[in-house]
């Protein structure tokens, strides 16, 4: 939508209608101390009811406010427009640490989960980094990441910054002095999320389903544990992020229901890469990329036999979960508990 279209929209809709469509509009009004003006009127008519002194404080007249509001909505709509139409990405191989070529070209489609496995230090995180920056043969690995089968130029990479990829790293340390509710509401406004209150509530409830220990809406972000932080960001990514690609680094260390987390993200038709040492996660993926010496050495499609083995692996995993919970709650380990 261009500026002229936004001006027509502003002149034809009430502030209440605009704020429902663009929740971040409330931030503009608050910045100029206009949050109390009538929301049942258009901005132009609402401005007629306020005192001149309010605008003079900011060295503005009513026409300035209208123009600035138009520019504000235009800017944020361009910044926050979802990146639609990403049906696949392609990883074209580069070189490993020994300068040996990676003779691969892997196409991943929307809705697929790809696990990345290999020894510690083998280069799993480097592959995630290449995907995050949409590498075009310009990183140490010389890999190329294509979107919908097409290479990306520098201009397109800059435009896509922050839109194409959502990354959930091993460390999710918050520094903002916000409550969980305030944080989710802020994200909803910034992303122009429709029906924001319902989505915020859904994010909060799902985050508590993923984590081992529940938290509250008024819990400060800085008080969340690593697992709680990761659960919150996974729910946020699933319900509010428009990014079609999600990168997850060693989710098994987060203390959350990791299979439910992957299932939640996959249902949103996102392309998911998860770096992991966990056999349960590795075999839950559609394919796994094997890394050695900084390079991709093998791509394995999860076989039916491997999928069937998940049931046995889950039994072991459930036993380990019971053991962890017993230790956390101060209970003793018994022979009965160790029986599968």
Q: State yes or no: pLDDT of 339 exceeds 80.
A: no
Dihedral sign, Cα of residue 14, residue 15, residue 16, residue 18: positive
Residue 293: what pLDDT?
Answer: 95
* Closest C-alpha to 166, from 225, 222, 233: 233
Beta carbons of 26 and 35 less than 8 angstroms apart? yes
In degrees, to the nearest 5, what angle opens at C-alpha 211 toward C-alphas 205 and 217? 40
Residue 100, C-beta contacts closer than 8 angstroms, at least 6 positions apart: 293, 295
What number is the average pLDDT over the span 68-94?
71
Q: What is this structure's pTM? A: 0.67
* pLDDT, tens digit, 9 for 90 and up, residues 212-251: 788 999 999 888 887 888 889 888 888 888 788 889 887 7
* pLDDT, tens digit, 9 for 90 and up, residues 122-176: 999 999 999 988 999 999 999 999 988 888 877 667 666 556 888 876 656 666 7
Per mean pLDDT, which of 60-69, 70-79, 91-100, 147-156 is the most reliable? 91-100
What band does 82 get if pLDDT is binned at 50, 70 and 90? very low
More confident residue, 245 or 74: 245
Widest pairwise Cα distance in the chain: 79
Residue 160: what pLDDT?
Answer: 61
Q: Where are the beta strands (DSSP E) in the chain?
A: 88-92, 105-109, 113-117, 144-147, 165-168, 245-249, 271-275, 287-292, 295-301
* pLDDT, tens digit, 9 for 90 and up, residues 10-63: 888 888 887 766 767 777 888 788 888 888 898 889 888 888 888 887 788 888
What number is the average pLDDT over the span 75-82?
50
Residue 171: what pLDDT?
Answer: 59
Q: How many CB atoms lie within 10 A of CB 302?
A: 17
Residue 47, C-beta contacts closer than 8 angstroms, at least 6 positions apart: 37, 55, 62, 65, 66
Q: What share of the chain in percent tops pLDDT 70? A: 87
Residue 141: what pLDDT?
Answer: 96
Q: State yes or no: pLDDT of 98 exceeds 50.
A: yes
What band does 119 get if pLDDT is binned at 50, 70 and 90? very high
- Summary mean pLDDT of the chain: 83
What number is the average pLDDT over the span 279-286?
89
Residue 1: what pLDDT?
Answer: 47
Residue 184: what pLDDT?
Answer: 92
Q: State yes or no: pLDDT of 115 exceeds 50.
A: yes
Residue 93: what pLDDT?
Answer: 95
Angle between helices 226-240 and 196-210 (to 10 degrees): 140
What band does 180 get if pLDDT is binned at 50, 70 and 90? very high
Residue with tokens 């010496």: 293
Residue 4: what pLDDT?
Answer: 67
Q: How far apart are CA 289 and CA 247, in angstroms?
A: 14
* Closest C-alpha to 114, from 303, 284, 244, 241: 284
Residue 21: what pLDDT?
Answer: 67
Q: State yes or no: pLDDT of 79 exceeds 50.
A: no
Residue 340: what pLDDT?
Answer: 54
Residue 169, C-beta contacts closer than 8 angstroms, at least 6 positions apart: 249
Q: State yes or no: pLDDT of 266 exceeds 70.
A: yes
| Least confident residue range of 216-220, 254-258, 310-314, 316-320 | 254-258
């Amino acid at each position: 939508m261009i500026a002229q279209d936004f001006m027509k929209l502003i002149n034809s809709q009430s502030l209440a209608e605009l704020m429902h469509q663009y929740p971040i509009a409330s931030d503009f009004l608050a910045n100029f101390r206009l949050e109390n003006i009538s929301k049942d009127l258009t901005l132009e008519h609402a401005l007629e009811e306020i005192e001149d002194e309010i605008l003079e404080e900011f060295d503005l007249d009513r026409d300035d406010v209208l123009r600035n509001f138009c520019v504000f909505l235009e800017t944020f709509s361009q910044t926050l427009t979802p990146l639609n139409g990403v049906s696949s990405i392609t990883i074209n191989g580069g070189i490993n640490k020994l300068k040996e070529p990676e003779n691969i070209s892997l196409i991943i489609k929307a809705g697929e989960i790809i696990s990345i496995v290999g020894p510690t230090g083998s280069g799993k995180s480097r592959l995630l980094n290449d995907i995050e920056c949409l590498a075009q043969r310009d990183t140490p690995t010389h890999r190329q990441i294509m979107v919908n089968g097409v290479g990306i130029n520098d201009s397109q990479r800059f435009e896509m910054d922050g839109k194409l990829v959502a990354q959930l790293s091993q460390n999710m340390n918050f520094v903002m002095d916000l409550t969980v509710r305030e944080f989710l509401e802020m994200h909803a406004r910034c992303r122009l999320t429709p029906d924001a209150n319902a989505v915020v509530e859904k994010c909060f409830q799902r985050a508590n389903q993923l984590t081992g220990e529940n938290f509250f809406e008024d819990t400060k972000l800085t008080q969340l544990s690593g697992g709680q932080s990761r659960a919150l960001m996974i729910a946020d990514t699933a319900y509010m992020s428009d990014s079609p690609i999600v990168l997850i680094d060693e989710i098994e260390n987060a203390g959350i229901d990791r299979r439910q987390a992957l299932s939640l993200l996959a249902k949103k038709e996102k392309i998911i890469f998860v770096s992991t040492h966990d056999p349960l996660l590795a075999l839950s993926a559609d394919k796994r990329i094997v890394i050695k010496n900084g390079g991709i050495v093998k791509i394995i499609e999860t076989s039916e036999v491997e999928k069937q083995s998940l049931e046995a692996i889950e039994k072991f995993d459930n036993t380990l979960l019971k053991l962890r919970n017993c230790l956390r709650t101060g209970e003793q380990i018994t022979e009965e508990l160790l029986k599968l």
